[in-house]
Amino acid sequence: MAHILAPTTQWQMGITKNPANASPTTAKMWGSLLLKQNKKGSSKSSAKFRVFSMKSENSTVNRIEKLLNLDLTPYTDRVIAEYIWIGGSGIDLRSKSRTISKPVEHPSELPKWNYDGSSTGQAPGEDSEVILYPQAIFKDPFRGGNNILVICDAYTPAGEPIPTNKRHRAAEIFANKKVANEVPWYGIEQEYTLLQQNVKWPLGWPVGGYPGPQGPYYCGAGADKSFGRDISDAHYKACLYAGINISGTNGEVMPGQWEYQVGPSVGIEAGDHIWCSRYILERITEQAGVVLSLDPKPIEGDWNGAGCHTNYSTKSMREGGGFEVIKKAILNLSLRHKEHISAYGEGNERRLTGKHETASINTFSWGVANRGCSIRVGRETEKQGKGYLEDRRPASNMDPYIVTSLLAETTILWEPTLEAEALAAQKLALNV
């Protein structure tokens, strides 16, 4: 995983900080994404966002554009908070806005809120109220100013986490003293596919047809190789503005598919940052008129799937002698392979076939620099005798709260029997 060196110190804080001269996403970031552009004077416009219609010169559209780009800061202390939560499918994102009386620095300063859980598949109609608890704050790259995005988790009115609230259990695991002392770092590689809106076929592909075979597209440049770069770049900048710990991005092996990396992040922060980055990506593709897909195998056949490889280390792994700790962690992961696979995303069996840089879903394996294994260890880690491991099994639609906390639980808290450990070590050729 490129660019990941050490976690930000912001993981200890309730809100990320940005330079004073930072500005929200500008029109130039979106210009080439949108289908209709003003024909006159577009290069001189100072608007942050542009509203387009069949009559782009229409004065009504221009007035809406001005209202969208109003800077409220000189006129009021009040800010807009966009409350974001995970919907009933466990992968869909929902949000709604409310006015807060003044800027805030920490989620504890924000009020709880409620929503109609019967409309998101999370509560029955006769008892539909679900309560949102603010958990993490990011700057809003769409509205700018002091406006914020708020990652929330969901509870019943009695204070019990609802079934789709996976953050609550993850927070408990990361609060465990043994886990906290190991300061777990995560670097998550989120792959995604961009689809044409009306036909649900990858961006850049001929409708109903196929491009040339894989090979020239990975990290490629050119109109016949790279499809959706403006979306990737706009997302990159919007995440940096928001305070998300995004560390890089690249075009992927299948055309129309991209990846970005978030991390290193510590503990529960990893899940918060991935979910917020996904929300921002949904909003950007919404504005661009493109569909975002996290399907782990969007196109059948000789095409790569989409994963969410998770790089992981503990304090003990990063210190001298850490390679032995990594091997012990791999042993534990092998013994809980089925538990991890069942929690690593829907439809993953279509991706983990043993082909296209994956291991078989039915067999656990590990190797140094081997991208066809369940767990990959880098050459530098082997050479230095310390470092991190990469779990290549999670699907692109995985829940980062589940994956990160399960890795910590299996490698730090869970202890196998001596007999099972010995058998697994022999099978995997691990001298632990």
pLDDT tens by residue, 294-310? 999 999 999 999 999 99
Does the pLDDT at position 63 exceed 90?
no
Give how far Cα 352 sits from Cα of 49, 188, 259, 361, 374, Å: 41, 18, 18, 5, 9
Entry pTM? 0.87
What is the distance between the alpha carbons of residues 403 and 345, in angstroms, rounded to a whole number?
9
What secondary structure letter does DSSP report for 224?
T
> Tokens standing for 384?
């230095």
pLDDT > 90 in the chain, percent: 79
Note the Cα 406 to chain centre separation in Å.
17
* Mean pLDDT score, 374-399: 97
Least confident of 40-49, 52-61, 66-75, 242-251: 40-49
Place of tokens 């001189």: 44
Which band of pLDDT confidence, cut at 50, 70 and 90, is reported for residue 422?
confident
Which pLDDT tens digit goes with each residue over 257-301?
A: 999 999 999 999 999 999 999 999 999 999 999 999 999 999 999
Long-range contacts (CB closer than 8 Å, 24 or more residues apart) made by 365-369: 366/330, 366/334, 366/428
Place of tokens 């552009």: 37
Pairing of strands 246-251, 257-266: antiparallel
Which pLDDT tens digit goes with each residue over 139-170?
A: 999 999 999 999 999 999 999 999 999 999 99
What is the average pLDDT score of the chain?
Answer: 89
Find the length of the chain. 432
What secondary structure letter does DSSP report for 141?
T
CB 306 within 8 A of CB 295: yes
Which band of pLDDT confidence, cut at 50, 70 and 90, is reported for residue 13?
very low
CA pseudo-torsion sign 405, 141, 145, 264:
positive
DSSP β-bridge partners for residue 389: 312, 377
* Mean pLDDT score, 91-111: 97
What is the distance between the alpha carbons of residues 400 and 326, in angstroms, rounded to a whole number?
21
Which band of pLDDT confidence, cut at 50, 70 and 90, is reported for residue 57?
low
CB 69 within 8 A of CB 137: no
Which band of pLDDT confidence, cut at 50, 70 and 90, is reported for residue 56?
low
Count of Cβ atoms closer than 10 Å to residue 17 Cβ: 13
